[in-house]
Amino acid sequence: MKKYLIVSVGFNLFLILLLIYLYLMNLDMVVSKSYLETSYQEEQKMRKELMKLIPYLTRGKSKNEILRIFKMELEDATGFEKNGCFWLPLLGLKFEGEELIHVSPNSNSGEFDPCFPE
């Protein structure tokens, strides 16, 4: 009888430790997921803000100068023109004459974007 009691207590202790371990692993995953979501949201916000700033930072430069700079600085920057925008691997550049007026991401999130006509 004593032997079964020791085995039972030992097994129950093992189960309690296993549950504590699983709880801590789950807690760690929740914290990691929260951190990743926050980091992703901050990066998306920063990307949108930088894309809004690019036309202001390129004022006074011609379309050819802007495209040359982008092609020099971006990897695999062979571009093409479509829907009135010049597309690089991750960006669409909308020009009005020689002036850069809008920078678009390579995918549309449902917001109005001149490089993604309806």
Q: Which two tokens stand for residue 117?
A: 């006509």
Grade residue 109 by pLDDT with cuts at 50, 70 and 90: confident
Q: What torsion do the CA atoms of 88, 78, 82, 64 make, to the nearest 10 degrees? A: 80
Q: Which of 11-15, 43-47, 51-55, 86-90 has the lowest mean pLDDT?
A: 86-90
**Tens digit of each residue's pLDDT (9 = 90 or more) over 56-103:** 999 999 998 988 888 888 777 678 888 788 888 888 899 998 899 999
pLDDT of res. 3: 78
pTM for this predicted structure? 0.66
CA of residue 114 relative to chain centroid, distance: 21
